[in-house]
Amino acid sequence: MTALHSTTAPSPTPPTTERAVPPFAVISGAQVQQALHGQEQQILELVEATYRLHGSGYSVNPPSYFLKLPDRPTARIIALPASLGGTTPVDGLKWISSFPANVLAGIPRASAVLILNDHDTGYPFACLESSIISATRTAASAALAADQLSRGRPRPKRIGFIGTGLIARYIHTFLAGTGWTFDHIGVHDTAADSASGFRTYLEQSECNGVITLHAGAEGLIRHSDLVVFATIAGKPHIDDLSWFDHHPLVLHISLRDLAPEIVLAATNIVDDVEHCLKADTSPHLAEQRTGRRDFLLGTLDDVLEGRVTVPADQTVIFSPFGLGVLDLAVGKHVYDQVAAAGELHIINDFFHELRRHG
């Protein structure tokens, strides 16, 4: 969305106004994790506020740019530029890579950095490790959607995870951290060791629900009121409508798991219409098949603002493309936390040529 940058019109800047170059800081993954630990409710509220700002037009969120690599067809690197207005405006860019082959080598699939730019000068003032920030904003978005979209229907007590990597773990952490409890937790992954590892995580997190490993997706979906897709699927692999006869709430975080038939038969909520109907996501495939968009009920902000009402007797699918403004909001929060603790690692003289004529 391209719209107003801040909540008030900027005053003209006199030509003689002096501006200082901000110091440049590097914030490590350990610092990011420490700043976010135990703040699930606070981050969920921050993400909600950011959705509201975006929905009200106080953001600039261009389409993500996908760098595809012909010699590594399963890999990609994505650039998410964004600008967020409001009371603490900030600009920036998330640069995140997805290399699925990393998992076989024993390292995480995704890695990322987030650059924050000063609102007044445009100078970058921080580089943050961002795989944790990305997972956090994704999980907070999922937990917010689960809460908002389950209102008006019995609160789900049976959850199923299809795909059991880092994102699934963060989603469970955010659900637990914002008051959710489950009687049953289903787990399915095409990689048995990943499913087993996720089960171990669940057991160590002291969740009280009965944990069941499912050999396939059908049994998990049929026995879950809340289904979380957090896979690396590049194209739909779920196409049987009857699996959803009980009308669960579906958090379609990985975006490409569901066949168009499943999407068209459900009530669909997205984070941003234009962003989600791109890059061969399941909703995009549904649009390509039908030539229309009226299968989308609206956005999560529409739900928050009461512009749409989600039916209680239908399958409801939340498909979030992932907005760069969410990364900015969480990243700026981390920066402020680390700065307040006096723990910023400043790179002195990072910007060196600061005189126009030497």
What sign has the CA pseudo-torsion 110, 182, 297, 286?
positive
Q: 80 with 187, same domain?
A: no
Contacts of 42 (CB under 8 A, 6+ apart): none
Say what the pTM is: 0.92
Q: In the chain, what is the straight-line distance between the N-terminal and C-terminal CA atoms, in Å?
A: 40
Q: 160 with 88, same domain?
A: no
The number of residues making up the chain comes to 358
The closest alpha carbon to 269, from 176, 129, 151, 119, belongs to 151
Per the domain annotation, does 274 fall within a domain?
A: yes
Q: 156 with 246, same domain?
A: yes
Q: 333 with 204, same domain?
A: no
Distance, CA of 265 to CA of 314 (rounded, Å): 9
Q: What is the pLDDT of residue 241?
A: 98
CA distances from 74 to 79, 99, 102, 195 (A): 17, 7, 11, 22
CATH number at residue 287: 3.40.50.720
Per the domain annotation, does 112 fall within a domain?
A: yes
Note down pLDDT in tens along the chain; length 358 residues: 444 444 444 444 445 567 889 999 999 999 999 999 999 999 999 999 999 999 999 999 999 999 999 999 999 999 999 999 998 899 999 999 999 899 889 898 899 999 999 999 999 999 999 999 999 999 999 999 999 999 999 999 999 999 999 999 999 999 999 999 999 999 999 999 999 999 999 999 988 899 999 999 999 999 999 999 999 999 999 999 999 999 999 999 999 999 999 999 999 999 999 999 999 999 999 999 999 999 999 999 999 999 999 999 999 999 999 999 999 999 999 999 999 999 999 999 999 888 888 7
Token representation of residue 42: 């606070």
Structural domain span for residue 288? 140-319
Q: From the DSSP assignment, how many helices (H) and strands (E) are in the chain?
A: 11, 16
Q: What is the pLDDT of residue 4?
A: 44
Domain count, the chain: 2
Distance, CA of 132 to CA of 324 (rounded, Å): 14
What sign has the CA pseudo-torsion 153, 159, 164, 170?
positive
Q: 112 with 184, same domain?
A: no
CATH number at residue 43: 3.30.1780.10
Q: 116 with 254, same domain?
A: no
Q: What is the pLDDT of residue 15?
A: 53
Inter-residue contact 216 to 195 (CB < 8 Å): no
Torsion of CA 194, 200, 204, 206, to 10 degrees: 100
Q: What 8-state DSSP symbol labels residue 58?
A: -
Q: What is the pLDDT of residue 252?
A: 98
